[in-house]
Amino acid sequence: MDEKDFLEFLIAERMGMHHENFHREYPPTEEQAAEAEKADEAHELLFQQLSEEQRKMMELCEDVANSEATRETEYYYRAGFQDGVSLDRLIKQIRKNNK
């Protein structure tokens, strides 16, 4: 495993951990859970009314939207990680210069 693969693995693991922690620390309210249930039911009803070809097209749209949202979330996570590393380096440099 090279450095790039290790970083990819580390980021995926950390994002998964944070995802789990978020859902544990911030469970949906009753209203949010009810809205999600209602949306799931509407989604299922809609899919039942579509032809096979239309379902495949809708699934493709959903997959692309989910993929884009995942890529964006990963981008922000990486940016935050890089900001943290840069801040750590800056603080160390300031401390070194003030000695």
In this structure, how many other beta carbons lie within 10 angstroms of the beta carbon of residue 49? Answer: 9
- Give the per-residue pLDDT at 23: 93
Q: Where are the domains of the chain?
A: 1-49, 51-99
- Give the per-residue pLDDT at 81: 87
Q: pLDDT by residue for the chain (99 residues), tens digit each?
A: 888 888 888 888 988 999 999 999 999 999 999 999 999 999 999 999 999 999 999 999 999 999 999 899 989 998 998 999 999 999 999 999 988
Q: Which of 67, 76, 62, 68 is nearest to 18 (CA)?
A: 76
- Give the per-residue pLDDT at 3: 87
- Give the per-residue pLDDT at 11: 85
